[in-house]
Each structure stands twice: as C-alpha cells, then as structure tokens.
Amino acid sequence: MAQRRFLLFLWPVRRCAPLPVASRFCSSKQTKFEIPLVHLENESLLENLSSMGVDLASARRRQPGVLRKQLTNEQGLALFLKTKGADPETIASIISRFPRSITRSCEHLEERWTLWRNVFKSDHEVVGILSRSPESFFRSSDNKNLEENISFLMSLGITTKDLHRLLTTAPRTFSNSVELNRNMVELLQSICVSLCGNDPKLFARTIISRNLYIFIRSTNRIRANVDFLTSSLSLSNSEALALFQSHGAQILDLSHESLKKNSESLRRKLRSLGCGADDFKAMILNYSLVLFISSERLNEKVDCLIEAGIHPQQIVQKPKVLDFSLPSIRQRLHHLKRLGYDFQKSGIAVLDTSKKRFSAKLERLGSPEE
Ligand SMILES: *[C@@H]1O[C@H](CO)[C@@H](O)[C@H](O)[C@H]1NC(C)=O
Ligand SMILES: *[C@@H]1O[C@H](CO)[C@@H](O)[C@H](O)[C@H]1NC(C)=O
Ligand SMILES: *[C@@H]1O[C@H](CO)[C@@H](O)[C@H](O)[C@H]1NC(C)=O
Ligand SMILES: CC(=O)N[C@H]1CO[C@H](CO)[C@@H](O)[C@@H]1O
C-alpha cells in the first residue's frame, strides 16, 4: 500500500518529464527519488509489530513514517513497559495509538520514567496514564525540556497535586514548546498587573489550579476572553480579579466565538424578559459557567422555567439551576407542579439540589404533615 502511494507521488513527475518547459525542473527534482527503498515499509518490523498485537492500520494512519524505519526499539519498549507492570494488550494498544513510542531508546525511557515518577506515586499510576493517553508520555522526546518545565511549574508554586492533575488531564502542557507555558504565565501575570492586582504570581497560580487546560489554549484566546468579559460586563478591577480567580477561570477556556455568541444570546434573552444589564452582570458574577451553555439550550431552559411560573429575577439570582439538563429540569418541574409547589413563596433552590436531596424533599412535600 505504501508502495502504491509512493508511485502515485512519482506520477506527476514522470508525466511532466517529456514536456520541454518543465523538463529541467522535473529532472532535477527526480534525483530526490533515486532511493525508493527508503519509502517502503519495513516488512520485518511489520511482522514483529503484528505478532505483538499492534493494530497496523491504526499505526499507519497515525504515524506512517515509523513503519518505514530501519532502526526501532519495539522489543526494548515492550520489555520496559512489561517491567513496569503493563500487560501485552496495553503495550500493543500504546504502540497502535502512538507508533513513535518504538523509536525511543531504553535509556531515554528510563530517564523519562524517573521524571514522571517525581510527580506520580507508583509505576501503576504512570502505566494507567500511558494507556489512556500515550501521547502524553511519548509526544515529546525532550527529557531536559520536561525536567525544566516541571521545575518551572514548581517554581510558580504549583503544588505536586496540581502537577499530578496537569499531567493527567492536560499532559500536552509538558510537551508544549518551551516558550508556550512561559508566555501563558506571563500573560496571566500581566492581566493581573493591568487590573491593579498586587500579587501577579498568586493570580496566575490560582487561575492555573482552577483551570488546568489553560496551558493548552492559546494566549490569544485567553486574552480575548478576558478583554471581552471585562468590557462587556463593565467589570471594575476588583470584580474582574475576583471573577477570574474563581469560577471565571474556567470560562476562559471557551472558544472566543462561543463565549461571545452565548453571552450575547443570554443578554438578549434576559432583555426580552425585562431584565437589564445589571441583572446580566449579577448573573455572570454569580455563576459564569452559564456561558458554557449554547444559546439554543439556554433559551429552552429559561422558557421551561418561566412557563412553570418562575420569575426571571429568580433565575438571575440562582443561575446554577440552568446547569441541569433540560429533561432533568422538566422532570423536577413536573413533580413539583403535581404537589402544588409555589416557587414565588418557596424559591427555586429546590431545583438546584442533588438527586437524593430532591427525592427526600419530594417525599416530605408529599407527606400529610407538611
Ligand atoms: C523482529 O524481532 C526479532 C526478535 O524477535 C529481531 O531480531 C528483529 O530485529 C526484529 N525486527 C525489527 C524490524 O525490529
Ligand atoms: C528493517 O529493520 C531491521 C531491524 O531493525 C533492519 O535490520 C533492516 O535493515 C530493516 N529493513 C529495511 C528494508 O529497512
Ligand atoms: C450566587 O448566589 C447564591 C445565592 O443566591 C449564593 O449562595 C452564592 O454564594 C453566589 N455565588 C457567588 C460566586 O457569588
Ligand atoms: C515554561 C517552560 O517552557 N519552561 C521550560 C521548558 O523547557 C525549556 C527547555 O527546553 C526551558 O527553556 C523552559 O524554560
């Protein structure tokens, strides 16, 4: 199959060769393809991988170049992972999903494992992460970079617990190009300074530990979202500092387009219900995560609550109820309606409770002594 692809690649070159104008260009190019063997997959490697249970189609789709290599270390890798407690299926699956893993030397693997073990308690834990996300371990081959990035993050005061969470939930952080992480931290610190905050380091650290995905987003996105929220809500410096260091840290993650779209749609919806800009602001300051909800979903949920006799101001004051799924909101409203629940008198906090507490509440409401 690789051979066929290689021939297709050659095809335009051959075809244009006889044309007088292009001929010089083509013949000089052609020297590049004099050793076609380099472009063939290594049969003996394929056999070895197959016998290990590797999904060749998957490997070929992901990193085809690896299958053409002359020097690989699949046996070494397999043995290494085995000593760390990985079973053959896990090893095969890791290679199928990240074929480049077989190009790492045993020495490199040992070194990298040791670095990871500074963050994780056991080999078992590392194997678990590798099998969930092989790229987190193998994507970058630069151990020095990893080491320096770990100490950089620690120098910010990021705790081992957060580092651990970072490696598990956003491993790409650790294979980020050098500048990327530093740029993000500098951006966060400069945002703090521009808001007249007095501890930029703490500000950055707080946002990072509240939003571990921050390092795998672009600084442009984060800056655009901060600017948008600050200006569209007319936030004072202290309001902005408080928002971004609490639930607002998570909303910085959203794509800028979605943030704008969801925000405009919520504002419009509130206006149509007679609520003003202050209400919108109060709602976001109380629970900015409502901005994750797409405009269609949000409108449906609000309509559903209003139809059940809930006052728009009640939603403004308790936006978290919008976090529940539409079917779950509907179901709760249905139960409460049957029992003649009066939202004006009793409020809507009942909608924002765990399933268990809601059932208990229903039981109490249904019993004759209440
Ligand atoms: C395949 O495995 C054998 C040992 O089992 C080894 O000698 C050989 O070099 C391997 N081939 C490749 C391409 O790695
Ligand atoms: C395939 O890999 C083996 C072992 O790594 C190597 O000895 C052999 O030369 C390779 N063959 C080709 C065609 O690259
Ligand atoms: C949001 O409002 C609720 C009650 O209305 C309150 O308990 C909660 O502390 C507020 N949250 C924030 C972040 O202001
Ligand atoms: C944040 C960051 O990128 N830290 C370090 C990552 O590793 C490189 C070395 O390759 C360092 O230069 C960075 O300071």
The reply to whether 32 and 69 lie within a common domain is no
Tell which one of 233, 238, 243, 286 to mutate to probe ligand 3, the residue whose CB is within 8 A of the most ligand atoms. Answer: 286
**Exposure string for 266-289, b = 16+ CB within 10 A, e = fewer:** bbebbeebebeeebbbbbbbebbb
Q: Is residue 127 part of a domain?
A: yes
**Nearest CA residue ID for atom 7, ligand 4:** 145
CB distance 227 to ligand 4 below 6 Å: no
Q: Is residue 96 part of a domain?
A: yes
Total number of domains in the chain:
2
Q: Which residue has the tokens 């009942």?
A: 350
Q: Distance from the CA of 127 to the center of ligand 2, in angstroms?
A: 29
Q: Is residue 124 part of a domain?
A: yes
Residues with CB under 6 Å of ligand 2 are 42, 44-45, 70-72
* Chosen domain end from 121, 139, 157: 139
Q: Distance from the CA of 136 to the center of ligand 1, in angstroms?
A: 27
The reply to whether 53 and 103 lie within a common domain is yes
107 Cβ neighbours under 8 A, 6+ residues apart: none
Kindly tell me if the per-residue pLDDT of 82 is higher than 60: yes
* Chosen domain end from 94, 121, 139: 139
Q: Is residue 328 part of a domain?
A: no
Could you tell me which residue, 226 or 339, shows the higher pLDDT? Answer: 226
Question: Predicted confidence band at 137 (pLDDT cuts at 50, 70, 90)?
Answer: confident
In 3D, which of 192, 193, 180 has the Cα closest to residue 221?
180
The reply to whether 96 and 130 lie within a common domain is yes
In the prediction, which pLDDT does 5 show? 41
Question: Predicted confidence band at 3 (pLDDT cuts at 50, 70, 90)?
Answer: very low
How high is the mean pLDDT of the chain? Answer: 85
Question: Predicted confidence band at 175 (pLDDT cuts at 50, 70, 90)?
Answer: low
In 3D, which of 297, 223, 207, 293 has the Cα closest to residue 256?
223
Question: Predicted confidence band at 29 (pLDDT cuts at 50, 70, 90)?
Answer: very low
Atom of ligand 4 nearest to the CA of 185: 1
* Chosen domain end from 74, 105, 139: 139
CB distance 48 to ligand 1 below 6 Å: yes
CB distance 72 to ligand 1 below 6 Å: yes
Tell which one of 38, 45, 75 to mutate to probe ligand 2, the residue whose CB is within 8 A of the most ligand atoms. Answer: 45
The reply to whether 51 and 17 lie within a common domain is no
Q: Is residue 107 part of a domain?
A: yes
The reply to whether 87 and 123 lie within a common domain is yes
The reply to whether 32 and 67 lie within a common domain is no
pTM assigned to the model:
0.69
Q: Distance from the CA of 74 to the center of ligand 1, in angstroms?
A: 8
The three-point CA angle 153-159-162 to 5° equals 85
Within 10 angstroms of residue 254's Cβ, the number of other Cβ atoms is 20
The reply to whether 73 and 19 lie within a common domain is no
In the prediction, which pLDDT does 24 show? 37
Ligand nearest to the CA of 174: 4
In the prediction, which pLDDT does 38 show? 53
The reply to whether 59 and 104 lie within a common domain is yes
Atom of ligand 1 nearest to the CA of 42: 13
Q: Is residue 326 part of a domain?
A: no
What percent of the chain has a predicted confidence (pLDDT) above 70? 87
The reply to whether 8 and 94 lie within a common domain is no
The reply to whether 127 and 51 lie within a common domain is yes
Q: Alpha helices, DSSP H only, in 211-253?
A: 219-232, 237-244, 248-251
**Cα–Cα distance for residue pair 217/173, rounded to 1 Å:** 10
270 Cβ neighbours under 8 A, 6+ residues apart: 276, 279, 280, 283, 312, 316
CB distance 317 to ligand 3 below 6 Å: yes
Q: Alpha helices, DSSP H only, in 17-132?
A: 20-30, 43-51, 56-62, 74-83, 88-97, 106-119, 123-132
Name the token pair of 94. Answer: 């890791």
- The model's pLDDT over 52-74, given as tens digits with 9 standing for 90+, comes to 999 999 999 999 999 999 899 99
The reply to whether 68 and 121 lie within a common domain is yes
Give yes or no for a contact between 302 and 308, defined as CB atoms under 8 angstroms apart: no
**Nearest CA residue ID for atom 11, ligand 4:** 178
Q: Is residue 21 part of a domain?
A: yes
CB distance 149 to ligand 4 below 6 Å: yes
Cα end-to-end distance, the chain, whole Å: 75
The reply to whether 90 and 126 lie within a common domain is yes
Backbone angles phi, psi at 197, to 5 degrees: -75, 155
Q: Rounded to 5, what percent of the chain is helix, strand, coil?
A: 75, 0, 25
Tell which one of 281, 287, 290, 314 to mutate to probe ligand 3, the residue whose CB is within 8 A of the most ligand atoms. Answer: 287
Q: Is residue 156 part of a domain?
A: no
Tell which one of 44, 66, 71 to mutate to probe ligand 2, the residue whose CB is within 8 A of the most ligand atoms. Answer: 44
The arithmetic mean of pLDDT across residues 351-357, rounded, is: 90
The residue segments making up the domain with residue 99 are 42-139
